Chains A and B, each alone.
Chain A
Amino acid sequence: MEKSILVLLLAGVLTACVTINIYFPAAAAQEAADQIIDDVWKIKEGDAKAPSAASEAPTQDK
């Protein structure tokens, strides 16, 4: 009797592990996609195509 309960419990734990491995983290995948697309398409940098080197280092006349 107790043995069969144990077997069931162990089976349950093992099933849980398998389920964890199959699960696809869809939300995380979308976040990853967003990050990569923003980089590839250069989104989020003020939309303007201002060359960053020029804007960061304004010419200094002495």
Chain B
Amino acid sequence: MKLTWIKFQTLIKLLVAVMAVFTMQVAHSAPNIEIDTPAINALKNSMQARHGQLAPFYGSGAIGLTSNGLIAVRDAKALPLKDRQGINALVASENTDRSKLYQEIAVANGHPEWSSSIQDAFAGRWIDKAQSGWYYQAAGGWTQK
């Protein structure tokens, strides 16, 4: 009886040690989301280059930020005729990159299933960081910042 009690105590100590190790791992790994991978950097560069073309369209209200972390054509009439053809392709390319970016971040962190949570996190931040005058989708429709 006494022997089993000692064994039991040893086991408890072992469990506590195991839990402590897990806690340390969590404390160490939780605050970081890995975003420095070749795939993510490539997408970032591609989006950065495209932003030069998109920026005037955000400003004119021709395109806006959607509530799900993508962009959309809001008012094609705000565009000069020459740009109306290209805008759809530009928006489609941007959205492809953004979707890939969310997926790549999830994969880079070992959790492909996080992709939609990451997309949600981005959705709010894109809108928060948008310049005033740009349009974003809110509950009541397009809203100007």
Q: Enumerate chain A interface residues (CB-CB to B < 8 A).
A: 2, 5-6, 9-10, 13, 16-17, 20, 23-43
Contacts and interface: CB of A to CB of B under 8 A. Distances in A.
B71 to A, nearest CB: 12
Given A25-B30, A31-B33, A41 B129 contact: yes
A9 B15 contact: yes
Interface of B: 4, 8, 11-12, 15, 18-19, 22, 26, 30-33, 35, 40, 44, 47-48, 51, 101, 105, 111, 114, 117-118, 121-122, 124-126, 129
Give the interface SS of chain A, mostly helix, strand, loop or mixed.
Answer: helix
Contacts of B4: 2
Contact of B44 (A10, A16, A36): A36
Contacts of B22: 16-17, 20
Contact of A40 (B18, B51, B111): B51
B94 to A, nearest CB: 10
Contacts of B12: 9
